[in-house]
Amino acid sequence: MNSHRIPKPDVSILAAICILLFCLEAAVLNYEHVYKATPDYSVRVLTRAMQSGDEETVTALVDDKAIAAGLFDGMASRGGGIDSLPVLQLAWEPLRDDFITDSSRLFHLTMQKEKDDADRAGAAENVRLRLQALGFPFPVSGWHYVSSRYAHKTDSSHAHMTVTLYNERLDRNLTCTIELTRTGPKQWRITGLADAPAFISEINDAWDQRLAAYNRPIQRQLDGLIKIRNVSASLVKGSNHQTFLRITYTPVFEGKPEEIREIRGVYELQRSGDHAVLYSGTLRLTPAASGKPHTSQFLLNPLIPSQYALMSRENLDDTRSQLRVTSVTRQDGTTLSLAEKLPN
């Protein structure tokens, strides 16, 4: 009779199984106690909550009012030193409060899928009007999350993360760096933008490029009629404490000036570093002799914050001037005109 012996277990196999189980246990513990405590996990939870319309979770993970405040301050900083003069900060405070309130309302209405579209449209229009008062073409709607990079901690309670967003109207991906603050052992909350001016500049550049592309056919025709060269500006102090912004420019006509009835243009004084618009004004150009310098001037209003900031300057050394022809009306009544904004 043959005897059957139970084979001895292979020690190497048992060791491998034990190591595998140990690794699995370590992975679970690492996920529960390490990854779930990272800002990356909180952002992952946030994106899921936004997709499902979980307003409670989104509110816990996003300080929407702080983000709106950061955006407003970033836009105000591009407005000719508004952020640096206490009297201007005081003048803009009501608009800032309204912008934060309206932005927060729009944010929450966007999460509430059961709300009427008219409510969201009304809230979006209020935000648009606040942005218009700032003179900044910020697209209010049509934003979508695309991706994000791994967060890096700046200290034990704060972290930065670069996020890519897509905007429908601009048809472009844009990046911004969000700031996260630890609010619990396993929770981080988005509390603002780490560099709001950089994000705003990127939006502004994208908007300008999109609008320029839309206007290109008309722009070619305008360039075939007139070009503006040698644009410069200076501050002139007048009587009664008045200050004028004086600009000099040279129109060069490519066609026949006598065939033109009216020329309209937009002058912008920009900060050299980031091209922030410090002053903008419309003017009519006279169809006069080609190639001769012309001078125009604008009276600065101290009741307008951005113009008051200009009046406080000693010179315009760190600025550049730009004068663009926006429309030409011929003697026969036909008009070539650039669009001021993108179509809806």
- pLDDT of the residue at 28: 47
10 Cβ partners below 8 Å, 6+ apart? none
* Same domain as 328, residue 237: yes
Q: Is residue 8 part of a domain?
A: no
Domain C-terminal end among 205, 233, 254: 205
Look at phi and psi of residue 179 and say left if phi exceeds 0, alpha if psi is from -120 to 50, else beta.
Answer: beta
Judgement on whether residues 72 and 187 belong to the same structural domain of the protein = yes
Count CA within 13 A, CB hemisphere, residue 55: 12
Mean pLDDT per segment of 10 residues, for the chain of length 344 residues?
Answer: 53 56 49 71 89 89 93 76 57 83 89 76 85 77 88 91 92 93 91 90 90 94 91 89 92 83 91 83 81 90 81 89 93 91 78
Q: What is the pLDDT at residue 298? A: 92
Cα angle for residues 85, 76, 143 (degrees, 5° grid): 165
In a domain, 7, yes or no: no
Residue 156 bridge partners (DSSP): none
Q: Could you give the 3-state DSSP secondary structure of residue 266?
A: strand
Centre a 10 Å sphere on the Cβ of residue 187 and count the other Cβ atoms it contains.
17
163 falls within a domain = yes
Q: For residue 131, what are the domain limits?
A: 33-205
- pLDDT score at 25: 47
The answer to whether residues 184 and 237 belong to one domain is no
Same domain? For 195 and 299 the reply is no
Q: How many domains does the chain have?
A: 2
Q: What angle do CA 226, 341, 325 make, to 5 degrees?
A: 15
Q: Is 168 within the bounds of a domain?
A: yes
Q: Using CA atoms, how far apart are residues 25 and 193, in angstroms rounded to an integer? A: 38
pLDDT at 167: 92
182 and 236 part of one domain: no
How many other CB atoms are found less than 10 A from the CB of residue 216? 10
The residue from 151, 178, 205 where one domain ends is 205
Within a domain: residue 3? Answer: no
Looking at the structure, do residues 167 and 82 belong to the same domain, yes or no?
A: yes
Q: Are residues 198 and 231 in the same domain?
A: no
Bridge partners, 241 (sequence order): none
Q: How far is CA 107 from the centre of its chain?
A: 16
Given this model, what pLDDT does residue 5 score? 56
How many residues are recorded in the chain? 344
- On whether the CB atoms of residues 165 and 172 are closer than 8 A, the answer is no
Domain membership of residue 249 (yes or no) is yes
Same domain, 39 and 86: yes
Q: How far apart are CA 41 and CA 208, in angstroms?
A: 36
pLDDT of residue 15: 55
Return d(Cα 244, Cα 297) in angstroms, integer.
6
C-alpha triplet 33, 37, 41: angle, nearest 5°: 115
How deeply is 70 buried, as exposed, middle or buried, from its count of CB atoms within 10 A (0-12, 13-18, 19+)? buried
